[in-house]
Amino acid sequence: MAEALSARVRPYRAVLAARARSQASYRANFVLDLVSSLLSALVELAEVWVLFHAVTRLGGLEFGQILLVFGLADLAFSLADLVFGHCDNLPTYLRAGTLDVFYLRPQPLLLQLITSDITLKRLSRAAVGVVALGAGLAVNHVAWNARDVALLVTALASGCATSAAMFVLAAGLQFFLIEGYELTNAFVYGGRYAATQPASVWGRPLKVVFGYFFPMAFTGFLPTLRLLDLPTSPWLPTWLGWCGPLAALWAWVLAMACWRWGVRHYRGGGG
Amino acid sequence: MRASARIYWRLLCAGFRRQSAYRLAALGGVAANGTFGLLKVAVLFATVHAAGGELAGYDIGRMSAYIWLSQGLLGSVNLTGRTEIAERIKDGRIAVDFLRPLDVQAAEITIEVGRSLFALVPRGLPMLAIGAAVGMALPGGAAAYPLGAVSLLLGIVLAVAAAYLVGVVGFWLVETRGVQVSYMVVSGFLAGLFVPIGLFPRWLRVVAEATPFPSMLMYPIDILAGQVGLTGALALLGAQLGWLAGVVGLGQALTRAGRRHLEVQGG
């Protein structure tokens, strides 16, 4: 049983190990990639900081509290990006017809696409998330009891899953969009931007879109409300902080439905 | 002189027409930029309200103008540092460009400006329409319109010229993706793409103003949104012209040095 599993996993492992080695082998370029990825996370944190520097309190949160939102949401997104981010390359494969190669192999299409690459440079971005999360926990004097630890672990794990689902959802839509691929940036990277905001400032339409339909508020804002026992905001009650796994489940149902729909629509690259 | 002016005019038109082929791409861009715009509205309006209705000269109307103008210009002002010249240097096609009886830098900038100007139509107008629908501040006086238009053009040309600089670094580095991504991150922030630089703390604002980035996006918006008066607008235009001269001059020098340094690999 275990042997059969390891035989099944071996091809994926071989591809991923080769990808990781190839990225790290151009040393100077890899360092520069790590630096630029680090820089992008720092700048996004700076954008949040500038606003809180100007007014100190936004959407009922202070900077120390938004640090926790940013840390949770951005760490989850960065880890998802590390593993799933290259799904963004699908439009290139579709236009070049190289996706058809995947059909020749006896492995599931989506699994091949996901394991076809890994973006190691996102590690530095994840590091910023870890530091922000650590700082957020420290300044808010979070008491380390079992409930808080469970909440944090649940929030992070389901946040990763939700963010990853956004990449798969986008990939499914690419079969229809082809040249209009930028459209999916609206909820993938727009979702990342939304996830680091205090969701209490959103109007009702945004709460429906990024609170529930693309459930990004569940990756940072809602768990933070629960963890710090902050007051409920309209349409986003504090107890939802525990419901990250449900949000992740919904996101994956949406993503898989879209992916199936897209694959069924695909008629080959004409090669 | 007239012959060469005609050539550059044709290049400008060619760039304009080429961009018009990507309609579906423009539609995708509008959806993405519109979504980001709505998120910016939520967080920046809340910031203005939290400050008591006015912050660093921004009331709701001006903030709205800033948001929808910046989202509309996003497709035209190259803040990504991505250029075709970087590709051509990498694969050696640049050698052919040097054989043409044209200035490589001027030709590249002209084509890119043509593309950027076209992008104002499918990517810029829809954002302005949203801004007009939800309400945004208009320029202070009649003079602000022509000044804003000139400032916008200068911003577009400056952004293209600066992206060209990122591309020609490839004469020495070959792979410029890391430089380009770093450029993209820093330029967007300092150009005031997500937060207007007027809201920055003083020291950070000084840092931003010491770079050409606000001249690409923030200054044209400041003029068009009525954030500055007539004298302020003229001062901003002066800063833009100064940066443009510097960036274009540096581009000329680097192109010449790069041409001597160029080594096309393979045959």
| A271: in domain | no
Q: Which tokens is A259 given?
A: 């992916």
Residue B266: the pLDDT is 59
* Interface check B179 vs A, CB under 8 A: yes
| Nearest-neighbour CA in chain B from A209: distance (Å) | 10
Chain A nearest-CA residue for B204 = A50
Q: Mean of the per-residue pLDDT values for chain B?
A: 90
Which of B47, B182, B185 is opposite residue A54, by nearest beta carbon?
B47
* Interface check A131 vs B, CB under 8 A: no
Residue B247: the pLDDT is 97
Residue A67: the pLDDT is 95
Q: For residue A230, what are the domain limits?
A: 2-265
pLDDT greater than 70 at residue A260: yes
Inter-residue contact A80 to A163 (CB < 8 Å): yes
Residue A206: the pLDDT is 93
Which of A37, A50, A194 is opposite residue B39, by nearest beta carbon?
A194
| A270: in domain | no
User: How many structural domains comprise chain A?
Assistant: 1
Q: How confident is the model over A43-71, as a mean pLDDT?
A: 93
Interface with A, mutate which of B24, B30, B33, B35 (most A CBs under 10 A): B35
The predicted-structure confidence for B31-82, as pLDDT tens digits, reads as follows 999 999 999 999 999 999 999 988 988 999 999 999 999 999 998 999 999 9
Q: Name the more confident of A219 and B19.
A: A219
The predicted-structure confidence for A183-232, as pLDDT tens digits, reads as follows 999 999 999 999 999 999 999 999 999 999 999 999 999 999 999 988 88
* Interface check B208 vs A, CB under 8 A: no
Which of A43, A177, A210 is opposite residue B185, by nearest beta carbon?
A43
| Nearest-neighbour CA in chain B from A152: distance (Å) | 25
* Interface check B172 vs A, CB under 8 A: no
| Nearest-neighbour CA in chain A from B251: distance (Å) | 23
ipTM score for this prediction: 0.91
